[in-house]
Structure formats: structure tokens, C-alpha cells
Structure 1
Amino acid sequence: MIANGIMGTSMTRGSIVQSYLDLIRTVLAQGTWQSNRTGIRTLSLPGAMLRFDLTQGFPALTTRKLAFRSAMGELVGFLRGYRNAANFRSLGCRVWDQNANDNALWLNNPFRLGVDDLGPLYGVQWRAWPAYKEIDLTHPQHEAQTQRAQAQGFQPLCTLSDPAGHPRLLLYKAIDQLRSCLDTLMSDPTSRRILFHGWNWAQLDEMALPPCHLLYQFLANPETRELSLCLYIRSNDLGLGAPFNLAEGAALLTLMGHLSGYRPRWFTYFIGDAHIYENHLPMLETQLKRAPYPAPRLSLSPRIPSYAETGQYTPEWLEQIQPEDFILEAYQHHPSLTAPMAV
């Protein structure tokens, strides 16, 4: 087990949630107070890591009830490339309502399309990353370059001139990063380049909130038929955000493994800025007094084809899956606790 950056040798079902609680204790003991954009102070610690063996259970919070259906609704919304809070609500997830409609900076952003709009965040980047190529039309290989770009799916948009007046051809393609990862798991599973991310510098100012969980890397072992995931989060609200991120990351790993014929194994969770909001302290202090229950198990609906069982590759389930297709089994938890979200 790795908790608070320390590696051990094993992990039990009960210790899955304990590692999260240990991180909370570490931030309380070693963090420093900082101001931030929300106006609510955070106790912050730079650099943290958690590691979970999914064969030992699913990392669902047990010291209070996890809003599992809402978390899976958010994940499904990302998988479908949604950018509107109303779409997330239709999936049983309301966590984006405030960011869409109560964030003063976003309300005054000229890129906002109206009520409930969130901009091209998360799922838009996952499933339709806007990619461009510029071909210098004075280059001796410009025809070959153009043919290669078009063979990759890029389409000409227009011609333009660079600052020196040289003509250039601009081509565009929306890249489905997640589907590319799944395809590569099938065609080249030992690749260490099976990753996607959401940090698109060109569009950060068009989003209600820049991505927090921004880099996902899948690592497959064809010999053991195990699939692992490393997730990097630049900024993590440990009280409200981390439980959702942990559940969604582990669920995504499970789904990707299911569709490609791998068993989910290691889920490693890296955090840049691990922080606790001041008004979340009572909720977290209550949880620290509660003994965690054994971790539950995650299963997928039998209606979703398993590649390991059928030998049929069905990547369309990345869009067809529903929140209720993620089933949390043997989930014991303490009573619910609430805290306000900082916007």
C-alpha cells in the first residue's frame, strides 16, 4: 500500500479507505493555510499519492455515504463529451450546476453560451480534442504532408499567410483521445503512450473550470491480463472532490479493462495541490472518528459485452453505457455528511 507517499507491501479491503483518511491526517498535520480564488482558505500540502489494488476492492468512501449514482452520472457525461449542466442533471448528477450558473467570472465570460453551459471542459477534450495542422505550401514536401494529414482524418479549413507572408494550409480534426487509448490497448498493449489529458491551453479561458484531473495513463500487462491506471490531479479538494475522482477513476479503469479484455489492477492517484477547505473541517473531523468498513466491489451490467468472454471488440459502449450499469456491491457506509462546495 502507498499512503501519504510511503510504500508498503500489501493492501486489505479495509485499508483502502484508511489510506484516504491517513492522507487527510497528513494534510491536517503538515499543511499550511493559503488563500485562493474561491475566498475560502485551504489547508494545503504540495505533492501526495495514493495507490489502490482494485483486486482488493473498490475505493468508495465508507466513513460517509458516497453519492455513487451522481459520480457515475458525471463519468458518463464525460464519456459522452457533455458540456452542459442540464445533460449532467439528466444523468443524476448536479455537481456542475453551481459552476455553470453561480460563478461570477464564468457568467461574465463571453465564451459562455447561456444557462447551464460549461464550455469545452473534460469530456469535450477527452472525446473531441480540437487539433490543427499547418502545412507550409512553399515546402517541397507540402503535397505529401497534406496527403498524410488527410489520411489521418484532418480536413482542410482554409489557406492563410504566416507573418512572413508565406502561404499555409490549415487543417482540422477532432481527436477522440479515449477511443484512441482503447484502440491502442487492442493493437499495441505494451505501449507506454496510452494516455489522454484535458489541459488544452488554447481553450482554458473558454471553460467554467479548468480541468483538475487532467492526465490519465493506462498501463497494460498482456501476460497477466491486468490493466492499471495512473491519474494526475493538479488540484484536489480532499473533502468533496477526491471521493468522486477516486470512484470515477476506478470505474473508468474497470470499463476500459472490460472492453479490452483486462482485469483492473493498480490505480495510482497523484495530487499536485492536496487541500482541505476550511469549511470542510467539521465533516472531515467527524469522518476521522469513524472506523472504515471493508471496501465494496464494483461490477458492470451483464448487458455490456466483455471482450475476455466474447472476443468481440465493442468500443461503442464508451458512449452507450448508463450510470446504472456501474453496480456497487456490498457497500457498507456510515451516515451521510454534507459540506458546501467552494466555487
Structure 2
Amino acid sequence: MQQYLNLVKDIFENGTWQDNRTGVRTLSIPGAMMKFDLQQGYPAITTKKLAFKSAIGELIGFLRASHDASTFRDLGSKVWDKNANENLQWLDNPYRLQEDDIGAVYGVQWRKWPAYKLIDLSMKKSIDQIADAKARGYQQIGLINHTQAGEKGDCVLLYKAIDQLRQCLDTIMSDPSNRRILFHGWNWAQIEEMALPPCHVLYQFLVNQTNKEISMCLYIRSNDIGLGAPFNLAEGASLLHLVGRLTGYTPRWFTYFIGDAHIYENHIDMLQEQLNREPYSAPKLVLSDRIPDYSVTGKYEPEWLEKVEPSDFSLEGYCHHPQLTASMAV
């Protein structure tokens, strides 16, 4: 994890103090990148103990499109508790339904992206457009009368919940050279319906058919380097391993892009202590034999995106320094 420590040093040496919504200042730099060869090991932080079980629990909650902090707790991750029940802006939000509700965050966007089509019936090809949309799974949910607004013509409104991640796997199987195998979580129409707008916003899979390898790029708009980055690295690498298992490719390069890379003021002591510690060798991620390996079975089983459990992920050879803790800014 020397790359991680180098980034921490860069922020300490070149960052500037910035104010933000949390009220806790950050030392920040614009633009950063880390790249990991997963064949050389899993990018688990070793200068403190990684909350591996919690990170995996959060990832599985995303895979199940959970919008409730209690689901994440049941999976072994308490990371959404504060944003669900202590974030004052969210507590006053009319879209918050009940205790533990976190809204349309990550997994909802990953697995149930709300897609709408508004087709003008006065247009020449409207019938063909409606037929095509329905053939691709859209359902008609309404008819809008524009004449009431002083305009001519009516429009048909259609809706479909898009499973972006499943589409990625399907495309890896059917068209692996495609350069559009990606999913994202930034939805302007639903930002106000989330306890926290997504930080890791865009994932792209890239397949090397020659070497039978799969790589992934992750773009994070805003990254808390002290607490968030270790979690995001673990989740991203684990997701790539899972996708590789289900599609028959070996995980290779994990490239991690950051927009705003920052250290919270109350995390400085923790990170300075880590810089004084010598990192250990990277561990290995082991997936349970329970998860089908397409390269062995030849059977495509994408439903395992929802069937995996926290116990299906483990680290082999993970050596780390003593645990360090710090408060998350909400």
C-alpha cells in the first residue's frame, strides 16, 4: 500500500485548507490516482487494520440495492448509521421515510436505475418507438395531455428500472471488446432523495480477451483519504474479483481516480502515525468455492450478484499494524 502512503504525503505537502458542508476542515488536493496490479495482491491497507468485514458488508448491501441502514448492519457494516439517523439535513428531508432510511443511494442506482421515456404521439415514428421501448422492457405508465398546457399533441410516458451492473456482466459475456461497459450512481433527478450523494460515481470494466483478464477503472468525485479510501479500495477490488469469477476472467488492473482528495483535520494524527509505520506485503483475496467460476463451469450465473454473503470473501496472509480510529465527518 505504498501508493496510498505516497498520496497521504502528497496531500500533507501540497494540500490547502478547505471548508465544506461537514464543518470539519479538510486538507485537499485536486486530482489524484492510484493503480494496483491485483495479480500482485489485494489493496488492503496494512499500516492499520482494515475493517474488511464491514467493507464487504457494505458492498453486498449495494449489490442487493439496499436503501436501509439496518440491512447494512445485518451484513456486518454500520457505516450508514450516522448518515441515516444523525445527518441533520437528511433528517429534515421530506424524502426520508423512516428511521434507518438512506434513500436512493448507490445500490439503488446500480441495480434499479429509474429510466423514463416520453414519446410524442404526434411524431411520425412514435408507434415504432413505443414498440421498441416495450420490447426492451419499458412499461407504459401514463399519458400526458399537452393540450392542457397550450401545446399540441399527447405524449406516452414509459418506465423501466435498469440493472446497470447486470447489463455490464451481460455485455462482458456477449461483447467483451465493448468500451462502454460501465455503470454509475450519479442521478441528478434523485440527488435530493439520498442521505448522501454518491462519492464513487463511475465504474468501468475493461476486458483483455487475449490474456483472459478483466480490469476496472473507478472514479471518485470526493474522497476522504483517512477513512473512505481504504473502504473504497477494498470494495472496488472485491467487486472486480466477483465480476471476474462470474464471467471467467482473471482480475488484473484496478485504477483508482479521485477528483477531490482530502484529509479531514481530525484525521491528521491517525494518518501521520501511519506514515511512521512500515507497510506489510499485500494479502490475497479468496472467494468461496460456493461462488460459481464461469471459467470452470462454463455456465453463466449472474444471479450470484445477489446471492453472495459476507462469508464468501476472506483475506489470506493479511498482516497489519494495530487498529487506529477516527470519527467520520457527517
| TM-score range relative to shorter protein | over 0.9
Tell me the residue number matched to 1:177.
164
Match of 2:59 among 53, 68, 75: 75
Tell me the residue number matched to 1:197.
184
C-alpha separation in 2, matches of 1:146 and 1:336:
57
C-alpha separation in 2, matches of 1:165 and 1:174:
29
C-alpha separation in 2, matches of 1:28 and 1:204:
32
Q: Secondary structure at the match of 1:112?
A: coil
Aligned AA (1:325): D
* 1:230 and 2:214 aligned: no
Q: Tell me how far 1:327 sits from its aligned partner.
A: 1.2
Q: Secondary structure at the match of 2:180?
A: coil
Q: Secondary structure at the match of 2:32?
A: strand
Tell me the residue number matched to 1:289.
276
* 1:258 and 2:245 aligned: yes
* 1:156 and 2:143 aligned: no
Match of 1:139 among 103, 123, 136: 123
Q: Tell me how far 1:161 sits from its aligned partner.
A: 3.1
Tell me the residue number matched to 1:45.
29
* 1:210 and 2:194 aligned: no
Tell me the residue number matched to 1:7.
none
C-alpha separation in 2, matches of 1:165 and 1:153:
28
Instruction: Give CA deviations for 1:158-182 in whole Å, capped at 9, x if unaligned.
Output: 1003452420000000000000000
Tell me the residue number matched to 1:8.
none
How large is the Cα RMSD of the aligned pairs? 0.6
Residues 50-65 of structure 1 aligned to structure 2 (within 5 Å): 50-65=34-49
Tell me the residue number matched to 2:318.
331
Q: Please identify runs of 4+ aligned residues in structure 1 that moved more than 4 A.
A: none
Aligned AA (2:111): R
* 1:303 and 2:290 aligned: yes
Residues 229-248 of structure 1 aligned to structure 2 (within 5 Å): 229-248=216-235
Match of 1:86 among 60, 66, 70: 70
* 1:111 and 2:98 aligned: no
C-alpha separation in 2, matches of 1:170 and 1:99:
34
Q: Tell me how far 1:132 sits from its aligned partner.
A: 0.3
Match of 2:106 among 117, 122, 135: 122
Q: Tell me how far 1:142 sits from its aligned partner.
A: 1.1
Tell me the residue number matched to 1:221.
208
C-alpha separation in 1, matches of 2:204 and 2:286:
22
Tell me the residue number matched to 2:154.
167
Aligned AA (2:175): D
Q: Secondary structure at the match of 1:267?
A: strand
C-alpha separation in 2, matches of 1:206 and 1:263:
37
Q: Tell me how far 1:324 sits from its aligned partner.
A: 1.2
C-alpha separation in 1, matches of 2:153 and 2:194:
33
Q: Which runs of 5+ in 1 are unaligned?
A: 1-16
C-alpha separation in 2, matches of 1:269 and 1:142:
43
C-alpha separation in 2, matches of 1:304 and 1:229:
20
Aligned AA (2:216): L
Q: Tell me how far 1:299 sits from its aligned partner.
A: 1.3
Aligned AA (2:47): T
C-alpha separation in 2, matches of 1:37 and 1:145:
44
Q: Secondary structure at the match of 1:205?
A: helix
Tell me the residue number matched to 2:255.
268
If the length of structure 2 is used for normalisation, what is the TM-score? 0.98
Q: Secondary structure at the match of 1:77?
A: helix
Q: Tell me how far 1:291 sits from its aligned partner.
A: 0.1
C-alpha separation in 2, matches of 1:89 and 1:327:
19
Q: Secondary structure at the match of 1:275?
A: strand
Aligned AA (1:78): F
Instruction: Give CA deviations for 1:281-334 in whole Å, capped at 9, x if unaligned.
Output: 010000000000000000100011100011010101000000110111100000
Report percent identity of matched pairs: 65
Aligned AA (1:336): Q
Tell me the residue number matched to 1:32.
16
C-alpha separation in 2, matches of 1:199 and 1:139:
31
Tell me the residue number matched to 1:10.
none
